[in-house]
Amino acid sequence: MEERTLIILKPDAVKRRLIGRVLARFEDRGLNLIALKLFRLSDVDAREFYSIHADKHFFNELIAFITSDPVVAGIVEGRDAVNVVRMMIGNTNSPKAEPGTVRGDFGLGTTDNIIHASDSPDSFEKESKLIFS
């Protein structure tokens, strides 16, 4: 099924000049980038974006990290895009991510894990409204 999903290349990906290499993986897989922007997430938008994690112990660290430098947000479209992209990015905790996945090949940690991707079509709707409104 044709689907859309949202990706955010986090500050570690931008600082380490990995934007092109990460985006190329999705294009190589036959997915299409239909929107793309480089910007800095505000504290307010970051808290809204990650509000589902507001009560978690890592929330403050996550917000500080994601707002620390520019990010690249994109909308990726293709067959089963939500699941395909989630599989391609790998485990949240980079040291546990399989080689061949984005986090398994480039990620250093759990906070600095290179990329976020929507975990469901519902999340995509909410996240893309906030990021691309």
Q: Which parts of this chain interact with ligand CMP (CB under 6 A)?
A: 53, 58, 62, 92, 110-111, 113, 116
* Catalytic residue flag (residue 116): yes
Set 106, 116, 117, 118: catalytic member = 116
Q: Which of 5/113 has CB closer to ligand CMP?
A: 113
As measured in angstroms, the least distance from the Cβ of 19 to ligand CMP is 17
As measured in angstroms, the least distance from the Cβ of 57 to ligand CMP is 7
Q: Which of 3/12 has CB closer to ligand CMP?
A: 12
**Order of strands, sheet of 71-79, starting from the edge strand that comes earlier in the sequence:** 32-39, 71-79, 2-9, 115-117
As measured in angstroms, the least distance from the Cβ of 69 to ligand CMP is 15
**Strand, helix or coil at 90?**
coil
Q: Which of 78/90 has CB closer to ligand CMP?
A: 90
The continuous run of DSSP H or E covering 37 comes out as strand 32-39
CA angle 60, 20, 62 (to 5 degrees): 5
50-81 burial, b at 16+ Cβ within 10 Å, e below that, comes to: beeeeeeeeeeebbebbbeeebbbbbbebeeb
As measured in angstroms, the least distance from the Cβ of 1 to ligand CMP is 22
Q: Which of 53/79 has CB closer to ligand CMP?
A: 53
Could you tell me which residues are beta bridge partners of residue 77? Answer: 4, 32
Q: Give the catalytic positions in this structure.
A: 116
